Homo-oligomer: A and B are copies of this chain.
Amino acid sequence: MEIPWEYRYAYRVKAMKSSFIREILKITQKPDVISFAGGLPAPTVFPVKEFQAAASHVLAESPEKALQYGTTEGYLPLREMIAERSARYGLNIGAANVSITSGSQQALDLIGRLFINRGDRVIVETPSYLGALQAWNAYGADYIPVPMDNEGMITSELEKALRKGAKFIYVLPNFQNPSGVTLSLKRRQELVRLADHYGTPIIEDDPYGQIRFEGEHLPPVAVVDSEYREENGNTYAGNVIYLSTFSKLLAPGIRIAWAIGDEKVISKLVQAKQGADLHTSSFNQMAVYEVSKNGFIDKHVEVIRATYKERRDAMLEAMEEFFPTEVSWTHPEGGMFLFATLPENLDTMALFDKAVEKKVAYVPGEVFHTDGSGGNTMRLNFSFSNPDTIREGIARLGKMLKEELYKK
């Protein structure tokens, strides 16, 4: 008999929508379309030479370790290096607080697995990162959206959300994907205080924290939390699970990221990871360690900052020049994305096909909103294209927007 697959699927599959972003990315891979839709790092900043040297070194010196099964928590020297780098920012942790994950997406998935039963609530920024929403939809999460302004999540609205009861609060404090907004220090402190008061953990997703072009580095929420605890006589006992990745610092194709948290939580996360993929590639972890050690990342991040700043500037300048005055947008101090808001009568989902006709693409902002709002917003990526291409693409988009706006 024919297998009735549909009938056999678990509720998770029924909850899975064919990802709109996936479809968008297919359309935008046409070679003549200038795509601001993806979230790709600039390949020109990949440290290719360093990876070549590292791969050679690892396979020459430790082939039996690099090609063999490894521990689920990850390669110890790499975890130690991550702990040391975190100490630099004020986080008093050791390797036992660190687990390697197969990209940050896996960390998000494992967090869903640890905390979310069907119908559990998760507090998210509005808008929020789509990959996290996709990961947690699979576990049946419900979302409590908290609005943002140009200082990030509006913490005075957070308390209302906390009162409804949530498994955790999810924030991207630096140059948020998709909005490009940074959570201010005052808001970080308020977030930590409220989360502590309600006993609600915080998931801090920080892929871009080091890619700041201007303004002052702000302490991660995990550090603000740790300081808050010390004032109250505790040593580090993480109310925060902190996530970051080598995808934006080195290269995403190697799939190496990490999670930091309380030892008890990390140990559960490692157990969950064991069932999910046993461990992350030994070879890749060792190669990343080789590339990163001796301070390479600190030098390399300067190259990334300079490159992305130039591209952000090109995008902001072109938007000033070509966008209708009715459109506003964020001015990110780092990262890879900015967010534009159109007049309310314009629908970026409906306009998407017109943009593609003009050979330019974006992500309709609606997909990042868990409350159905954001229909008049769009996310624009500035890290992938060079400044000339950015200028041309923004010109095309501005033309389309003006035609739409002034025909009415």
Contacts and interface: CB of A to CB of B under 8 A. Distances in A.
Interface of A: 1-5, 8-13, 16, 18-19, 22, 38-41, 43, 46, 48, 51-52, 55-56, 59-60, 63-70, 72, 102-103, 105-106, 109, 113-117, 120, 131, 134-135, 137-139, 167-168, 196-197, 199, 201, 234, 237-239, 247, 250-255, 262, 264-265, 268, 271-272, 274-284
B117 A138 contact: no
A29 to B, nearest CB: 10
Contacts of A41: 68
A106 B68 contact: no
A209 to B, nearest CB: 20
Contacts of A113: 10, 12-13, 138
Nearest to A107: B277
B69 A2 contact: no
A67 B253 contact: yes
Q: Across chains A and B, which 10 residue pairs bring their CB atoms closest together, nearest first? A: A67-B251, A253-B282, A43-B64, A48-B63, A55-B55, A67-B253, A105-B278, A46-B67, A106-B277, A255-B281
B69 A277 contact: no
Given A18-B271, A103-B277, A117 B199 contact: no
A74 B196 CA distance: 42
B271 A19 contact: yes
Contacts of A65: 253
Nearest to A133: B275
Given A3-B239, A40-B69, A69-B252, 15 more contacts: A2-B234, A3-B199, A3-B201, A5-B264, A10-B139, A11-B117, A13-B272, A22-B72, A40-B68, A51-B63, A51-B283, A67-B251, A102-B280, A255-B280, A281-B281
